[in-house]
Amino acid sequence: MSFNALIVEKDDDGKTHASVKQITTDDLPEAEVLVAVEYSTVNYKDGLCIGPGAGLVRNYPHVPGIDFAGTVEESSDPRYKPGDKVVLTGWRVGEAHWGGYAQKARVRADWLVPLPEGLTTRQAMAVGTAGFTAMLAVMALEDHGLKPGHGPVLVTGAAGGVGSVATAILAHLGHEVAAVTGRAEQADYLKGLGASQIVPRSDLNEVTRKPLESETWAGCVDAVAGAMLGRVLKQMKYGTSVAAVGLAGGAAIEGALITPFILRGVNLLGIDSVMQPYDNRLRAWQRIARDLPMDKLDSMIQPATLADLPRLGADILKGQVRGRVVVDVNA
Ligand code: NDP
């Protein structure tokens, strides 16, 4: 039986082309678990894999989609049986291994987690890799001492996927959230997610020569890096932490960098969602089911189909997507 998949091909000139095609399970890579995919999402990395590849995609033709949720159809691994609901993020699925932009996916049992109680497959993918990473970032800040009442917690790239979910989780946990956005028109959306303060991107994206600035932020989830992270580090309160998840604003951190670390004991915590061990993944998904208000999640969702993906992949690379795109692969 054939089914739909978004196939990315590369021509002799090195240009990539993405289109929805019919494939069969014989085309899928070998692995223990065949999943009937229900939903996938659009993350920044998906934009790269649908488009230029950026060194992430090793072999063409390729099926992108770095996350998915669905129902197990076949399994040679005793941990999963047909009918089980599962979620996948990370492990280079959608990059080195065919991913979730298809009605079926075959993956390693080790890469899956059972769908946490209280979440539907659609909600799990409204969270997706971006939201899962936001939860990991919040957990890392908590592990380093952040508690409600310590002061405002900054979220950069706030109207994007990681930023939207981080804003909603932190606000729900009782933190005062300062949301940084370059899109003034998204202020009401971010306030709806629980942000108490909107910080224009232009306030933070200039490099200054000052070694330190006023102690302002009790914590930060940073999806942007670049000049903004250089500024933010200098504004952190003594002994606080920045959880750095992404580089939507550039790979280099700029500014007088060493001072916040040695004069204010600031911690820079790197967050990687790709290679998280099973227990951490399970713990983060259980926290998501508990600490992310589902009405807030609903307000982040933009529905999409496989056919929409080439356009949305380009949009996310331009920073033009708001919240989370949820792809119904069967629509
Ligand atoms: P999105 O595109 O949804 O969000 C990024 C947001 O950053 C944009 O919406 C925009 O927010 C802001 N932004 C974009 N360009 C710039 C710029 N030049 N300067 C300042 N701000 C900018 O992406 P995601 O939220 O899905 O991912 C964010 C980053 O996190 C990416 O780099 C991604 O690769 C990374 N990531 C890392 C993971 C990990 O495991 N470490 C997992 C998931 C994502 P606004 O308009 O509000 O300013």
Structure confidence at residue 229 (pLDDT):
95
User: DSSP string spanning 43-61?
Assistant: -HHHHHHHTT-TTT--SSS
d(CA 16, CA 88): 26
Any ligand 1 atom below 6 A from CB of 162: yes
Is the backbone peptide bond immediately before 61 cis, with ω within 30 degrees of 0? yes
Q: What is the pLDDT along the chain (331 residues), one digit of tens a residue?
A: 899 999 999 999 889 999 999 999 999 999 999 999 999 999 999 999 999 878 899 899 999 999 999 999 999 999 999 999 999 999 999 999 999 999 999 999 999 999 999 999 999 999 999 999 999 999 999 999 999 999 999 999 999 999 999 999 999 999 999 999 999 999 999 999 999 999 999 999 888 889 999 999 999 999 999 999 999 999 999 999 999 999 998 888 877 678 999 999 999 999 999 999 999 999 999 999 999 999 999 999 999 999 999 999 999 999 899 999 999 999 9
Any ligand 1 atom below 6 A from CB of 212: no
d(CA 233, CA 240): 10
d(CA 92, CA 73): 22
Structure confidence at residue 205 (pLDDT):
87
- Are 41 and 70 in contact by the 8 Å Cβ rule? The answer is no
Structure confidence at residue 65 (pLDDT):
98
Any ligand 1 atom below 6 A from CB of 321: yes
Closest approach atom of ligand 1 to CA 250:
18
Token pair listed for 14: 């090195």
- Are 223 and 323 in contact by the 8 Å Cβ rule? The answer is no
Structure confidence at residue 300 (pLDDT):
95
Distance 97 CA to ligand 1 centre (A): 23
Pairing of strands 153-155, 177-181: parallel
Tell me, what DSSP letter sits at residue 197? E
Distance 156 CA to ligand 1 centre (A): 8
Q: Could you tell me the domains of the chain?
A: 2-115+297-328 (3.90.180.10), 128-270 (3.40.50.720)
d(CA 36, CA 70): 6
Beta bridge partners of 89: 67
Q: With residue 154 as reference, give the H or E element that holds it.
A: strand 153-155
Structure confidence at residue 252 (pLDDT):
85
Region for residue 90 given its phi and psi (left: phi exceeds 0; alpha: psi -120 to 50; beta: otherwise): left
